[in-house]
Amino acid sequence: MKILLLLSVVPDTTSKINFTADQTEFDKTGIQFVINPHDEFGLTKAMQIKEKTGAELHVVHVGPQMNESVIRKTLAIGADKAFRIDVEPKDSFFSAYQLAEFLKDKDYDLIIAGKESIDYNGGMVHGIVSALTGIKFVNAVTGLNIEGDKVTVEREIEGGKETLETSLPLIIGGQKGLVKEEELRIPNMRGIMMARKKPLEVLPAVDAPVMTEYVKFEKPPQKAAVKLVDKDNLDELIDLLHNEAKVI
């Protein structure tokens, strides 16, 4: 079996988000980049399948050279080989198009993505890849079990979950639940040493259509200061919720 992880590289979850002076671009200064948390669940799941079945695990990322340290981290955790498509993505469609081109002469059985990148929160690159390649797709996946030809997938729905039966090849958009939190892998010294010798191939980008344009960014409006209510005067709180906020 061959598995491919679609890797999105995002600012660390504690990052303060700022933009360049003209508010047109995300300011990367001082930002620590990490594996997209939803992809991290997928990476661990892929490692578990690899250890059980001897599958080969590749990673692909569309992004600039500065993201290679994060790609190396996936190799240190245990992926066998990585590809970087050398371009700063222009929008989600553009990234999906690069990935679909990459997949043209490949034969992966399982393609694991995250349900969304936590930076732009698009939630669409992997789904568009499915549309462009015709490979089946399940999103918001919280459980995956592969027994021979039979693939059972659990996905989150509004207010519950759904179990699906399908087959390979398959693309999944993974999220929390795919593996347990405590199973998440972090690189160890041996892994980091080995990762240095693993192949990281840089591929040129292809011309691809761009459908959207980020014109500018702004910070959400600041909240007014909190109204504190004394714990012995909860009638006031109820009055505020009823008459001011009008929520009860």
Partner 1 sequence: MSIIIYAEQSGGKINKSAKELASYASALAQKLNTEVAAVSFGAEDPESLFQYGVNKVLNVTDEKFSTFNAKAYAQALMQAAEQNEGNILVVSSSNDSLYMTPLIAGAWQSAYVTQVISLPENVENFIVKRKAFSNKAIAHVKLTTDKKILSIAKNSFGLKEHPVEGSVENFSPQVDDSVFEEIKVVKVEKASGKVPLSDAEIVVSGGRGLKGPENWGMIEELADLLGAATACSKPVADMGWRPHTEHVGQTGKQIAPNLYIAVGISGAIQHLAGVNSSKNILVINIDPEAPFFKAADYGVVGDAFEVVPKLIEKLKAFKQNS
Ligand X SMILES: Cc1cc2nc3c(=O)[nH]c(=O)nc-3n(C[C@H](O)[C@H](O)[C@H](O)COP(=O)(O)OP(=O)(O)OC[C@H]3O[C@@H](n4cnc5c(N)ncnc54)[C@H](O)[C@@H]3O)c2cc1C
Binding of residue 121 to ligand X (CB under 6 A): no
Least separation, in Å, of the C-beta of 43 and ligand AMP?
A: 10
Compute how many residues bind partner 1; rule: CB under 8 A.
81
Q: Which CB sits closer to ligand AMP, 33 or 55?
A: 33
Instruction: State the residues that interact with ligand AMP by CB under 6 A.
Output: 6-8, 36, 38-39, 60-63, 89, 92, 95, 113-114, 116-117, 120, 122-126
Q: Which is nearer to partner 1, 189 or 222 (CB)?
A: 222
Considering only residues 49 through 88, tell me which ones interact with partner 1, judged by CB under 8 A. Answer: none
- Residues 144 to 173: which contact partner 1 by CB under 8 A? 152, 155-167, 173
Note whether 117 and 33 are within 8 A (CB). no
CB of 218 to ligand X, least distance (A): 24
Which residue has tokens 């002076």?
Answer: 21
Query: Does residue 42 interact with ligand X by CB under 6 A?
Result: no
Q: Are 134 and 145 in contact (CB under 8 A)?
A: no
Angle at 229 between CA 226 and CA 230, to 5 degrees: 140
Contacts of 144 (CB under 8 A, 6+ apart): 45, 151, 152, 153, 154, 172, 174, 178
Token digits for 109?
Answer: 């059985």
